[in-house]
Amino acid sequence: MIQTCFYRDKDRISGFKITGHADSGEYGRDIVCAAVSVLSINTVNSIEQITKIMPLVDSDDENGGFLSVNVPESSDADSNRMAQVLLEALEIGLRDISKSYKEYLVMN
């Protein structure tokens, strides 16, 4: 099962952590894993490329099943707002997946 947790600092999402494996299908055909991976990796890449904020990323590239991201505040208010929109979009996407596949993804 995949577990997700969003970290908040006052009124902002400061990061997130995703752990575990969905095991909803065989390797290469696990649609829950694929969806969570695409959303989370795209969010990190988008924050970097669109806002120029460099998230602090910790992952287990060898075994998978672990991604921890901390998004530092920028001195640029517009960059911070854009990063928040991207993080909120990730949270919405993961929540939607968890509604349809609650036995494979839990939002903490």
| Strand-strand pairing, 2-9 and 12-19 | antiparallel
- 97 part of the active site: no
List, as one string, the DSSP characters of 49-105.
III----EEEE-TTT--EEEEE-PPPS-HHHHHHHHHHHHHHHHHHHHHHHH-TTTE
For this structure, is 11 an active site residue?
no
Which of 12, 21, 30, 42 does the annotation list as catalytic? 21
Q: Which of 2, 22, 32, 33 is catalytic?
A: 33
Q: Which residues are catalytic?
A: 21, 33
